[in-house]
Amino acid sequence: MQKAKPKHTLLFTVVFLSIGIGVIIAFNATKPQDQQVHGESIAYHHHAMLGYYLNGQKQVVPANIGIGIDNGLGPAGMFPVHTHDASGTIHIESKQAGLQLSFIQFTDVWGLDLSDKRASLFVNGALVDYKNYYFNNGDRLRLEVVD
Ligand SMILES: [Zn+2]
């Protein structure tokens, strides 16, 4: 009977230590999430490149597409899909992890109406349906429009 007591004490010590360590790990794991909710943290920041051709002529993709249009999901004062310069670099940035952004959302915010034109979108060399394309980090896009 007397031999059993120290074993129980050891067992309780191990259990309490495990719970304590578990609580510390769980508390630390929730910290970064709290900071993301209350701050301006961006969940991801991806880039794609766009070359735009109208009737075979290379066009400039304007700078500042989506700047000044804030739907609450992008960086402050920016639509989640935007440009900063006229290099053709498209920035895809969201506060919401896993949010998928489409080419149509980009052309809408750009003000580029493709509905009455023949438009072909090539992504990394392959023709895709531009109405069903969602941006992936590092994609290279070529938009060919015929009036
Ligand atoms: Zn960027």
116 Cα to the center of ligand 1, angstroms:
31
pLDDT at 17 over 80: no
The tens digit of pLDDT for each residue in 82-125 reads 999 999 999 999 999 999 999 999 999 999 999 999 999 999 99
Distance CA 27, CA 17 (A): 15
Q: Which among 141, 140, 121 is positioned nearest to 132, based on CA atoms? A: 121
Q: How far is the CA of 81 from the centre of ligand 1 (A)?
A: 10
Q: Which residues have CB under 8 Å from 92's CB, separation 6+?
A: 44, 45, 46, 47, 48, 80, 81, 101, 135, 137
Residue 18 pLDDT level (bands cut at 50, 70, 90): confident
Lowest mean pLDDT among 23-27, 77-81, 86-90, 142-146: 23-27
Is residue 33 over pLDDT 50?
no
pLDDT higher than threshold 60 for residue 39: no
Spacing, Cα 82 to ligand 1 middle (Å): 9
- Distance from Cα 88 to the centre of ligand 1, integer Å: 12
